[in-house]
Structure 1
Amino acid sequence: MELHYAPIQPYKMKKSIVLLIAILFQCACKAQFSPVQGLTKSPDEAINIAKSKIQKGDKKTIALLSDLKAKANEALNAVATSVMDKGVVPPSGDKHDYISQGPYWWPDPSKPDGLPYIRKDGEVNPEIKKFKDHDNMGAMVRNVDALAKTYFFTEEEKYAIKAIEMISVWFINPDTKMNPHLEFGQGIPGRNTGRSIGIIETPGLASIVDAIILLRNSPSWKEKDEQAMQTWMKAYLNWLLTSDHGIKEGIHPNNHGTYYDIQVISLAMYTNQNAIAVDIIEKAKKRRYDAHIIESGEQPHETARTKGYSYSTMNLKGLFQIATMAEKLGIDLWNYKNSTNADLKKALDFLIPYALEEKPLPFKQISPMHADAILPHLWIAYQAYGDELYLDVYQQILDKGESDITPLFY
């Protein structure tokens, strides 16, 4: 069966529900596996269809799985890290608290002690490496994501066991777990001990949510694990919604606000608080889609930065993610047009000539451009809109030697 992922229109909702039931029935009856339900980042039907193709011997899908499996095999040998591994003690005195330093802040050369630090946008201070929580959490998220997805496709228990170990060490084990807040994220020496924008460092929690959902069929995932993660995610969600840092980040005008929304929506969906998710999605129409994209498709909050292309692709990836989540709750953001008549399609169309190097960048990009950064956008847009242009550009970039496994999940 060959299906494309398409946006849900209100009048198509009933038809979409019927289609999903049919897909789930086919997966359960013909493919001989339990179909996944309840993902927040990916359409359930897409990953179920990919697994069905793998079981039927589809060579292209199996090749994509091979790429994913290679990452998972590396993760099998990785050490499960925690917030306790850092040498820096947070201001609270509790190493269970996450701590990091703002990456673009440097000692002031005009001051004997360098304090307070000054900002150099886009220039990363290597000093941040002594704060290990950021890198350790990022590696944990990537490893768990690869392991859980590989477990779903292969049903090899070793991948589930390793993913669960990593989740337990970071979130559940009383001796190593992270406290569910980010009060000390991206602090600046001489200025503060933490900022609201530190929340940009935890969007990977949405990947952990989906990993948990993929692990639910594993005999190694116990009810006590599920309950512990429900408790942790609810606590972190509450902190996002009620803390000074969380409230401030929620109204941040650029990609920070976008990735705040992703975290709140995903955690709300996982903890069965869909009303919160819907509220954030409805607010996102004005706060994100209206505010972030102008008539030409440019994202001025991102192109104003020193890495305009990188931040534009990053923010657009987030806006696509919110649209995917919204679709699951019956809200169509794929075809939402803002006050300037711009939409997600225009935002992607704006970036394509630069991705193909057909035009010189009209804004700053102080670091190298990565052609593969836009590949997920192109594939997802092709599924959402059915426009062959996106598939053509996607293939052009792949033909340059880039790779992408997005078709396994969308």
Structure 2
Amino acid sequence: MRSLVSILAFGTLLATQPAAAQASSAAPVCEGSSGYAEAFGGRRTFLWRPDWLTAVKARYATDPALQPARAAMLARADAALTRGPYTVVDKTQTPASGDRHDYMSMGPYWWPDPSRPDGKPYMRRDGHMNPERDTNAFDLTDLEAMSGDVQALSLAYYFTGDERYAAKAAEFLRVWFLAPETKMNPNLNHGQAVPGLVSGRAEGVIDAYRLVRVVEGLGLLDTSSSLTDAERAGLRDWFADLVHWMATSPIGRAEKAATNNHGVYYDLLISEFALYAGMDDVAKTVIGRVGAQRLTPQIAADGSLPQELARTRSLHYSTWTLTAAFDIAQLGQCVGVDLWNFQTEDGRSLRSATNFVAGWAGREAEWPYPELDKTETSGLYEVLQRGAWAWSDPGLAAKAALYQERNAEIDLNLRVPPYGP
């Protein structure tokens, strides 16, 4: 596999693993671009831990607490058997490049200007989603559907062993990434465009967070013959090309420079895709600078994320950012970088940021910062659940349990079980 350290211009196993890993001598080892393959029967995942999935599988069919998530996942997987495939070439608009294979989406918070006859250029209303972005004029809906279906199908295949699920996921992957007539070009030059203003923005790179589901799902498909070796190589090459684009394109470089959640997600995405493509040195270089370049400037001394608190959906964006940071910390375990225990002299750390939002668990309605929807708790639930594992903290686990029932159907419950020492 090719290396990109020389062009990135970003200038082994973790020796000391986080507390969650230390809690069990049987904790699996993630080894670079091999991921958890050795510990997971050849399945090359990076974020979906084999010990967690194996534990869930052992009680998947009988544990009442798992039945809502199990039923929802299987319902989606069964429905996916009759859907799709999805492709970027069937959108009704054409990107500015003139190439329908280029992905295209619209900024979520941009609306027609009522003072102009054609509404252009659109104007921004932070936190208010314009439903126009979800129409077939753009590719976001298909990207969301494809990645969500691949995730459900791969999980259904893992838990049931039914090859129908793997075969359908493989069909989706061929059409979206490989088939010459339907594949997406590995770039996001036209992501989160603003009508009348710009044909693509750096912020559009974050749309690719949905592809993390695809990479992890591919790991679960490694035990199936639904994809050929040549197709798997083609998928690795596609993601290698996307890494190259992220590292070298003006839009990719601009997103890298973002100082809020977009910068954190950039580091997550390029690291995940680099590991999948076999570019261990790229992932280690990126993740090795996250502590100094992301956590230190973005986390305040009190654990808050000031740039996210300024948003109209501040709780959502705080947990959204932490979710990506947790993913990077997990990937760090694959390349010898410990972010779980990173801390500045004045106490800025993932733990302090987690404690900040955890302090509002059970009283999120009292959150004192701008938040348009205080009923959404899935992000807080995930941060608490995963934080409990990261630091072997029963207190965080107890707070996560406050939100389990109202989030019982989400597939996080199948991928990250409740913490237990």
TM range (shorter): 0.7 to 0.9
Map 1:237-248 onto structure 2 (within 5 A). 237-248=243-254
Q: Answer yes or no: is 1:136 the counterpart of 2:139.
A: no
Aligned match of 1:293 in 293, 299, 305? Answer: 299
Q: Answer yes or no: is 1:222 the counterpart of 2:223.
A: no
Please give the alpha-carbon distance, in whole angstroms, between the structure 2 residues aligned to 1:305 and 1:387: 29
> Closer, same or farther in 2 for the Cα pair 1:384/1:232, shift >3 Å?
same
> Closer, same or farther in 2 for the Cα pair 1:317/1:20, shift >3 Å?
closer
1:378 deviation in Å? Answer: 1.6
**Equivalent position amino acid for 1:151 in 2:** Y
Return 121-130 or 98-107, whichever deviates more.
Answer: 121-130
**Equivalent position amino acid for 1:300 in 2:** P
**Equivalent position amino acid for 2:230 in 1:** K
1:49 deviation in Å? Answer: 3.9
Provide TM-score, normalisation by structure 2.
0.86
Please give the alpha-carbon distance, in whole angstroms, between the structure 2 residues aligned to 1:62 and 1:387: 22
Contact 1:309 1:369 in 2 (8 A): no
Return 39-48 or 171-180, whichever deviates more.
Answer: 39-48
**Equivalent position amino acid for 2:289 in 1:** K
> Closer, same or farther in 2 for the Cα pair 1:227/1:113, shift >3 Å?
same
1:306 deviation in Å? Answer: 0.9
Please give the alpha-carbon distance, in whole angstroms, between the structure 2 residues aligned to 1:338 and 1:322: 18
> Closer, same or farther in 2 for the Cα pair 1:359/1:290, shift >3 Å?
same
Q: Answer yes or no: is 1:10 the counterpart of 2:8.
A: no
Please give the alpha-carbon distance, in whole angstroms, between the structure 2 residues aligned to 1:344 and 1:19: 25
Contact 2:113 2:123 in 1 (8 A): yes
Provide TM-score, normalisation by structure 1.
0.88
Aligned match of 2:204 in 198, 209, 212? Answer: 198
**Equivalent position amino acid for 2:63 in 1:** K
1:69 deviation in Å? Answer: 2.2
Please give the alpha-carbon distance, in whole angstroms, between the structure 1 residues aligned to 2:62 and 2:158: 17
Q: Answer yes or no: is 1:38 the counterpart of 2:44.
A: yes
**Equivalent position amino acid for 1:105 in 2:** W
**Equivalent position amino acid for 2:134 in 1:** K
Please give the alpha-carbon distance, in whole angstroms, between the structure 1 residues aligned to 2:117 and 2:389: 57
Other-structure match for 1:93: 98
Q: Answer yes or no: is 1:170 the counterpart of 2:167.
A: no
Other-structure match for 1:3: none
Structure 1, unaligned runs of 5 or more? 1-7
Please give the alpha-carbon distance, in whole angstroms, between the structure 2 residues aligned to 1:359 and 1:192: 37
Cα shift readout 1:174-226 (whole Å, capped 9, x = no counterpart) = 11111111111111222211111100111122221111121111121211210
Map 1:67-216 onto structure 2 (within 5 A). 67-130=72-135, 131-216=137-222
> Closer, same or farther in 2 for the Cα pair 1:11/1:259, shift >3 Å?
closer
Please give the alpha-carbon distance, in whole angstroms, between the structure 2 residues aligned to 1:185 and 1:373: 24
Contact 1:299 1:347 in 2 (8 A): yes
Other-structure match for 1:4: none
Q: How many residues align?
A: 394
State, as a whole percentage, how many aligned pairs show the same letter.
31
Please give the alpha-carbon distance, in whole angstroms, between the structure 2 residues aligned to 1:409 and 1:267: 20
Q: Answer yes or no: is 1:268 the counterpart of 2:274.
A: yes
Other-structure match for 1:342: 348
Cα RMSD (Å) of the superposition? Answer: 2.8
**Equivalent position amino acid for 2:234 in 1:** A
1:11 deviation in Å? Answer: 4.1
Please give the alpha-carbon distance, in whole angstroms, between the structure 2 residues aligned to 1:393 and 1:366: 23
